[in-house]
Amino acid sequence: MRLPATLLALCLPATLSGQARYTATVGLTAGTQLVKDQIFQTVRVGQKLAPTATLGVSLPVSARERAGLEVTFGFGRTRIKESGLPEADGPRYRTLSVTAGVQGPILDRLSLRASAGVLKYLADDSGIFRGGGPLLFLLGGGADFRLPVRGAVGLIARLRYDYQRFSTNALEAAGFSRSQDVHRLGLGLGVEYSP
């Protein structure tokens, strides 16, 4: 924890790095349907639970509130549902997102976060993620529950929600139009460090 924290602190002015709070969490993210297609019958592409890892840094902007950045990497697998055919695993995907947010306490150890950012589906070798996807806008929110452990180190449980309008380069090349509303909900556990 000290090395990433030190590296992140190097990016901040010296006066601010002492007030920074660094977090690292791992967890799982669930999401709504990615694609609905029609080939003889309706084909639905859903998401299986996706492991995610998040790094975050925040700084105080007032006595009660903090502003911060979160970088999240996720990798998951799609699930294909189609009437008359067995349900099956579909293409894998990897995502990278960066969000900026503001958070403030609502209870003693519980804080609320509102955020906006961007998300990218990274290129894969086949299927709907072949060629990756455009940069998607993300709106989200969430809650953090903090549990101080010892000194500058604490534990954190994190709930995150975000919304995106999904499409990929392969889908657009195949003639799909518009985009799909996708809602995701993630739960993460990790540590925080406040030097």
Query: 1 or 163: whose CB is closer to another protein?
Result: 163
Shortest distance (Å) from residue 95 CB to another protein: 17
Query: 5 or 170: whose CB is closer to another protein?
Result: 170
Which spans of this chain sit near another protein (rule: CB under 8 A)? Answer: 35-41, 43, 45, 62, 64-65, 78, 80, 82, 84-86, 88-91, 102-106, 111-116, 126-128, 130, 139-141, 163, 165-167, 170-171, 174-181
Query: 78 or 95: whose CB is closer to another protein?
Result: 78
Shortest distance (Å) from residue 176 CB to another protein: 5
Contacts for 54-57: CB closer than 8 Å, 24+ residues apart: 54/23, 54/24, 54/25, 54/26, 54/27, 54/158, 54/160, 54/188, 54/190, 55/4, 55/22, 55/23, 55/24, 56/22, 56/23, 56/24, 56/25, 57/8, 57/12, 57/20, 57/21, 57/22, 57/23
Chain Cα centroid distance, residue 58:
16
Shortest distance (Å) from residue 26 CB to another protein: 24
